[in-house]
Structure 1
């Protein structure tokens, strides 16, 4: 049976970059909080606990560059900017939520393994 990376060829670097983007903690959280409706920057900042302004800005730019979300600027006073998942972002969402649900279901077990490992290292 071929391995999961076989056949990637010249796309290997792009695929690694995409996996890095959606696999980092901020990318996953931003995608998850945008699942229900478009949000403004401050709403996103409140909805993603612990994210700095710089990290939110970088994460939004990277997700927009990869086509996972759109940034819409409304010519109003004051200026209104909203972020929303694209069809591509929505198609990724079910996989991201599946991973998040798996992590949530196994937190106690993983915490125990981490504590056991850490106690052996001391």
Structure 2
């Protein structure tokens, strides 16, 4: 096994930087770094998310069933935390699934899509797991 610590960062190519900045600013607040070509969020204690402009236009819209990323999931510690996220999404006017229950893991979740079609999930993973 490779001696890795955690995921350090993910880079996402987006079609529209201004629309993506507006969406992620409503979701996570102010980025830790931004310029006209990219913006960056620090998530948790280690992971960083970079968003940069795609250099070629997408020939087809994002599809979670194609080869590549299916969705990006953020773990939350409790149903109460998930309820706070849902309240924030509603207040920010971000369309979402509402709180649902995963039929496989029996955990609570919220689904939403960013302006590029990327599916985002907030998934309740209790500390005991």
TM-score, normalised on structure 1? Answer: 0.31
Specify which structure has the higher proportion of strand.
Answer: 2
Specify which structure has the higher proportion of helix.
Answer: 1
Larger CA Rg, structure 1 vs 2: 1
TM-score, normalised on structure 2? Answer: 0.30
